Amino acid sequence: MELPYNKRAEMALIGHAINDCTVLSDFRVNKEDFYLETNYRIFEALSKLGNKSNLITIQEATNIDLVYINDCTTLAYSSADYKSFEEVVIQKSLLRKQILLAQEIMNNAYNGVDSTDLFKQSNDFNQYDDGELVMIKDIVIDEVDAIEKYNDGKIDPGLMTRMKGIDLYANGLKKGDLIYIGARPSMGKSALSNQIALNIAAQNKSVAIFSLEMQNAKIVRRMLVNQSRVHLKIIKDRRLDSDSIKRLTNASAKLFEQNIAISDKGSQKVGDILRKAKRHKKLHGLDVLIIDHFHLLKPTISGTTYEKRSYDSQLLKEMAKELNIPVICLCQLSRSLEHRPIGERMPIMSDLKETGSLEQDGDVILFLNRPDYWHKNERDYVNTHDADISVAKNRDGETGNFRMKWYGGTQRFEEC
């Protein structure tokens, strides 16, 4: 009788590793868990080749038919999550080990050989435990110690945005947190995230920005005017004087020294961003990641809009935990808020309802509203520059509202 195995699961799991070599570091399986020799050899080659692995290099290393290797990658596309395939491979491997161990114990019994040591081997079958369940006694002492150190100022609360309102409520952006910043278009979401990025980078921290709609040059220009306080219109109208040029030059020198990385490649999946972020963190360090914006992410799965967005939101939360950094993601809100009276257009949680499971996945949710925007076509309206920010959700703290001043010409939010 043939030992249990699942060819499709083995091939699909290998296919995921071929499509994205970075997932190999997260695999719980070993090469011995693959029953088919062909799959064993491919997995072994993948482990050795690392980021140099592709269809051609794997074929050269294993001398296995390229069609078969390509079939593995095709099977992987049938699921966005490799973990389901990995679980099947692990379970089949455990069954084979149990069968072989039982056979050896039975043979020993027939031959009068003591099998006490073999029985002990069965305890090793929990090697795949990924630590999801932890006894409270293993945590509580360390947590009390951490609280005491925090109280004594020996542990930083998190990354400070240097925006009083956000830092007051959030008390620093925490590692593993997913932070959503929601607003209608043209409210200044990108500018707010850019300023947070600049403020964090100024603290000798590493920042990565994935902009799915704005080009790198435009992002840098906005950062330059933010830091130099040179009005965008002066640049546009070619009215730069020596003082403006000097301020821009000083701002560029400051930006040059900061650890900020930008990607303006559009149509990326969450998995694409995670792969690049993991590589960047390994090479340059990474303290915070910003995505602009959620609704431009390429869906990971097929299905209804709600299902696709919910799945990607859950992946973003997993990304924050895996990278162990705060992930800030901008998002558009429902158009329905524009049908409310102007004085009631501060976004609320229900404005996220059509966007998937963002409300439940986000650890911190910020909303941005500028009353001036809604009055911009009124002839006698005087611009107040008010920008109202709501901390609508805060998993580890309080919620509340605060006000800043917004100056579009220099792309700056300033304290009132």
For residue 121, being part of any structural domain is answered with: yes
For residue 370, the 8-state DSSP code is -
Residue 359 lies in a domain: yes
Q: Residue 384: inside a domain, yes or no?
A: yes
Q: For residues 305 and 402, what is the distance between their CA atoms, to the nearest angstrom?
A: 33
Burial class (CB in 10 A: 0-12, 13-18, 19+), 260: buried
Residues 250 and 338 in one domain: yes
Among 69, 97, 126, identify where a domain stops.
126
Return the axis-axis angle of helices 66-76 and 37-49, rounded to nearest 10°. 80
What is the tens place of the pLDDT at every residue in 231-287? Answer: 888 888 888 888 888 888 888 888 888 888 888 888 788 888 888 888 888 888 999
- What is the rounded average pLDDT of the residues 82-94? 87
Q: What is the CATH number of the domain that holds 35?
A: 1.10.860.10
Express the helix, strand and coil content of the chain in percent, nearest 5 each. Answer: 55, 15, 30
Tell me, what's the pLDDT at 153? 60
Q: What is the mean pLDDT of residues 353-380?
A: 82
Same-domain pairing of 183 and 249: yes
The region, left, alpha or beta by phi > 0 then psi within -120 to 50, assigned to residue 238 is left
> pLDDT tens-digit profile of 182-201?
988 888 899 999 999 999 99
Q: Are 176 and 283 contained in the same domain? A: yes
- Does the pLDDT value for residue 116 go beyond 80? no
Residue 133 lies in a domain: no
CA 243, 246, 250, 251 dihedral sign is positive
249 CB contacts (<8 Å, ≥6 apart)?
none
β-strand 178-183 against 327-332: which pairing, if any? parallel
Q: Both 113 and 188 in a single domain?
A: no
| Statement to judge: residues 326 and 383 lie in one domain | yes
Sorted by sequence, the CB contacts under 8 Å of residue 333 that are 6+ apart come out as: 182, 183, 184, 347, 351, 352, 355, 367
| 168 and 38 in a common domain | no
Half-sphere exposure at residue 334, Cβ-oriented, CA atoms within 13 angstroms: 18
**Side-chain half-sphere of 267: how many Cα atoms within 13 Å?**
0
| C-alpha–C-alpha distance, residues 188 and 193, integer Å | 9
With beta carbons less than 8 A apart as the criterion, state whether 95 and 4 touch.
yes
Domain carrying residue 401: 164-415
Give the predicted TM-score (pTM) of the model: 0.66
Report d(CA 107, CA 113) in Å as an integer. 8
Q: Please give the tally of structural domains in the chain.
A: 2
Asked, for residue 143, whether it belongs to a domain, the answer is: no
pLDDT of residue 327: 95
3-state secondary structure 305-359: HHHHHHHHHHHHHHHHHHHCCCEEEEEECCHHHHHCCHHHCCCCHHHHHHHCCHH
213 phi and psi angles, rounded to 5 deg: -135, -25
Whether residues 96 and 197 share a domain: the answer is no
> Are residues 303 and 170 part of one domain?
yes
Note whether 233 and 344 are same-domain residues: yes
Q: How confident is the model at residue 198, as a pLDDT? A: 92
- The residue out of 126, 153, 179 marking a domain boundary is 126
Amino acid identity for residue 319 in this structure: M
Exposed (0-12), middle (13-18) or buried (19+): which is 190, by Cβ within 10 Å? buried
Question: φ, ψ for residue 215 (rounded to 5)?
Answer: -70, 150
Rounded mean pLDDT of the chain?
A: 83
Inform me whether the pLDDT recorded for 119 exceeds 60: no
219 lies in a domain?
yes
DSSP letters for 161-194: -S-HHHHHHHSSBPTT-EEEEEE-TTSSHHHHHH
- CATH at 375: 3.40.50.300
- pLDDT tens figures, 283-304: 889 999 999 888 889 888 877 8
DSSP-derived 3-state class of residue 381: coil
Residue 131 lies in a domain: no
In this structure, the answer to whether residues 66 and 184 fall within a common structural domain is no
Is the domain of 118 the same as that of 181?
A: no
Is 20 inside a domain boundary? yes
Please indicate, yes or no, whether residues 103 and 251 belong to a single structural domain of this protein: no
Q: Does residue 159 contact residue 287 with C-beta atoms inside 8 Å?
A: yes
Give the three-state DSSP class for 210.
Answer: strand
With beta carbons less than 8 A apart as the criterion, state whether 206 and 259 touch. yes
